[in-house]
Structure 1
Amino acid sequence: MIPKPLHAANELLAFLLELAAFGSMTWWGFRTGSGVPVHLLLGLGTPAAAITLWGLFCAPRATFKVPLFWVMLLKAAVFGGAALCVYAVGHHALGIAFAIVAALNTALATADREALVHTRRA
């Protein structure tokens, strides 16, 4: 387990990364394609789909509890997709940095939660 202050900071970062992921999808959607209908569909539909999937399977109080493998796969898809969205709108370094920070944050949070689960079982 990591120290409480680091745990709290990492959890805050995780939340901010989630918001940034959904925001980047919105940004990409409104910049992609041509015409208002396409912009609305992609700019609102893409983050709405990601938010729905996140709430159903990845959130701390997710509607459905699924094995960790599937949670991690979905998180990788959302964060990876968000990084690609940032990259696609022309901010290559920011997209790469987002992917790295999201991966490190998710790995640390997962390891910390798993350690907490094993500590509680003991």
Structure 2
Amino acid sequence: MKALLLTLVFLLELAMLAAAGWWGFTLDAGWPVRVAAGIGAPLLIAVVWGVFCSPRAAVSLPAPAKLAVQVACFVTAGLLLALAGHPVPAVLLVALWAVDTAVLRLSGEPA
């Protein structure tokens, strides 16, 4: 069961990056802005995630702070996806991550 939950959280992390990219590439702007936002937004989220939340994070945070960074990343990606015109998938992304993370934490697994 834990392997399934960890796989789901990994897939949701990839979806988070895809959501940020989707927002950028669908902006109502010229193609240079769309390309910069479509690459830059997921890159920024990936850097924040890698520095603070990955298993080999450069900055070791206490669990509540790490969870706060994770929440900020997922809520940001959800907001960007909603701004791109997809509010239902945005809510599903954040809600699935929250449920999956809660179940993992209740099972004693750090998410």
**TM, length-normalised to structure 2:** 0.89
1:65 aligns with 2:54: no
1:91 aligns with 2:86: yes
Residue 77 of structure 2 corresponds to residue 77 of structure 1 = no
Residue 113 in 1 paired to residue 109 in 2?
yes
Query: Displacement, 1:107?
Result: 1.9
Range moving further from structure 2, 95-104 or 15-24: 95-104
1:38 equivalent among 33, 37, 47: 33
Number of aligned positions between the proteins: 109
| 1:26 aligned residue | 21
In 1, the alpha carbon distance for the partners of 2:103 and 2:52 equals 19
Task: List per-residue Cα deviations over 1:51-70 (Å, max 9, x = no partner).
Answer: 01111110122122111122
1:79 alignment partner, SS class: helix
Counterpart code for 1:18: E
Identity %: 32
* TM-score, length of structure 1 as denominator length: 0.82
Instruction: Determine whether 1:10 maps to 2:5.
Output: yes
Rg (Cα) greater in structure: 1
Q: Identify unmatched segments of 5+ residues in structure 2.
A: none
Q: CA RMSD in A?
A: 1.4
The alpha-carbon deviation at position 47 of structure 1 amounts to: 0.6
3-state SS of paired residue (1:113) = coil
Matched, 1:52 2:47: yes
